[in-house]
Amino acid sequence: MSRSFFRMLVVAAALFATQAFAGDPPVVNAPAGTLRGEALEGVNAFRGVPYAQPPVRELRWRPPVPAKRWDGVRDATRFGPACHQPPPRPGSIYAPDEALATSEDCLSLNVWAPADAERAPVFVWIHGGSLVAGSGSEPMYRGEALARQGVVMVTVNYRLGVLGWLAHPQLSAESADGVSGNYGLLDQIEALRWIRNNIAAFGGDPDNVTIAGESAGALSVMYLLAAPPARGLFHRAIAQSAYMISTPHLREAAHGAPAAETTGLELARKLEIRGLPRLRAMDPQALTVQAAMAGYFPLGVVDGEVLPAQLVEVFDRGQQAAVPILAGFNEGEIRSLRFLLPPAPADAAAYEATIRAAYGELADAMLRRYPPANLDEAMLATTRDALYGWTAERLVRSQTALGQPSYLYYFDHGYPAADEAGLHAFHAGEIPYALGTVDSTPPDWPKIPDTDAERRLAAAMQGYWTSFARSGTPVARAAPPWPAYGQARAYMAFDGAPQPGEHLMPGMFELVEAVVCRRRAHGGLPWHWNVGIISPPLPDGAAGCP
């Protein structure tokens, strides 16, 4: 056989092998075990990957236990079940197209990686849903689009509602650290540990991890920034519509909230269930629904271990993770969250009288910022700024003070279906643009038109988000440079097209900061949506407060 003929045989064999195996599913050999995923167009997807042992029976209300390495090849082509949650509110624009399959065995994550990924930046998305609902498998969070931008995207399930956040004296007593609650946050931390240990096998860089989320996902991002056990597990943060509200303490009443352990005892009393064995034996879905109906609302717990102090205190002291941040909020946050608003006052005169009675020396500033000429718009803006606007600016100011590049945005984009429904730039409206999922929104979501302008906006936002994950600097092709917040208080507005500006909403941050500062100094008042015409009387000026 001639040498040239032998070479031809080798080339032919190689071509045959390529043709025969090009469509084979991707297989990853990770430290956790071997996974078989699905090959999409230039992207490898691995779904339903367990990062912790099922938190069932004696593991209910305990910190997550790392998943054991599995033998053989694990099928990773289907999403794992969502964590237990109440059914969605009928007619909600956020409700999925079909009921989520739920289980207490829900601690899984999903990975989308470029087929040729090699030390690619990692983008970890934490879903929203008030710490009550949601899943990393929702179509609007799926990662094909960002993976095609060159990042490895990961979505995470974490325990929700009473199963994820309950504090109780008996749970604290059985804990080595003497604390309870924050189990959903501990799940997120365990998922980040799994990513650190395994993501290189998917082509991701464990030394370049960005955590990102919206609403309760952004609240989780702030918790992770503040939590000492999460330190070093991520290197950048994106907080979309975060809300830095007051948080219950484990064993003492504070800022208008009872101790978290007291809340747990009261919930058990309402449910007429005595003792942890009975609570752990209760059907998880029934427990989830009954707890929600009894008024249980999940939040993180200031326990001195996982959350060392109120978020505002951690950030004031500069004790949060020193990482670059990208944060922002939407013009119409409350248009889709009207349950946060009180009934409207009778007229402008009643509105003004109520504001003056509640805000005292700050009343004039409140009335200038939120004038009664349009009561609905005034109330929407008041609640939006108290929850989301103030938080976004506080985050970028805090990280700037640590010497970290920080970027502020304001999403003010409308399109016909949303505007006609009175939902201009509504809460979560930026997600499908930033994640590249405009064709995967829930069925009652105002339909985004397929136009060149919409595609350009989505491309720009994806470019900014993925470049920030890559390098800590948001850059997008054919779009203006995004200036860091800095001394100019710069920001990027998304209103049809990206447009940089300076000093967003002059006076807004200072006014809300003054209100929060006085409530904090008082010690017995929460700071969240109890603002405007439902604000309790504002305490007199306190030392150190503007």
Q: So which residues are the catalytic ones?
A: 215, 333, 427
Structure token pair of residue 545: 């407060």
Whether 329 contacts 247, CB under 8 Å: no
**Rounded to 5 degrees, what angle do the CA atoms 30, 32, 34 make?**
55
- The CA distance from 315 to 38, in Å, is 42
Instruction: Please give the Cα distance from 61 to 396 (Å, whole number).
Output: 34
Assess contact for 206 and 299: CB atoms under 8 A.
no
Quote the CA–CA distance of 433 and 310 in Å, as a whole number: 32
Helix then strand then coil, in percent of the chain rounded to 5, is 40, 15, 45
Nearest-10 crossing angle of helices 508-522, 390-401? 90
**Angstrom distances, CA of residue 67 to CA of 32, 251, 359, 400:** 8, 31, 52, 37
What does the DSSP assignment read for 34-58?
A: EEE-EE-SSEEEEEEEE-B----GG
Instruction: Please state the φ and ψ torsions of residue 187, each to the nearest 5 degrees.
Output: -60, -45
Q: How far is CA 284 from CA 61, 198, 536, in A?
A: 12, 30, 37
Q: Can you spell out the DSSP letters for 248-292?
A: -BSSS-BTTB--HHHHHHHHHHHHT--SHHHHHHS-HHHHHHHHH
**Separation of alpha carbons 353 and 527, rounded Å:** 22
Give how far the C-alpha of residue 78 lies from the chain's centroid of Cα atoms, to the nearest Å.
23
Token digits for 543?
């030392």
Q: Which two tokens stand for residue 79?
A: 């999403």
DSSP symbols for 206-232: EEEEEEEEETHHHHHHHHHHH-GGGTT
Count CB neighbours of 383 within 10 A.
25
* Alpha carbons 186 and 159: distance in angstroms, whole number: 9
Torsion of CA 289, 294, 300, 306, to 10 degrees: -80
Letter for the amino acid at 68? K
Tokens standing for residue 258:
């009872």
Enter the tokens of residue 274. Answer: 């005595």
DSSP state of 309: S
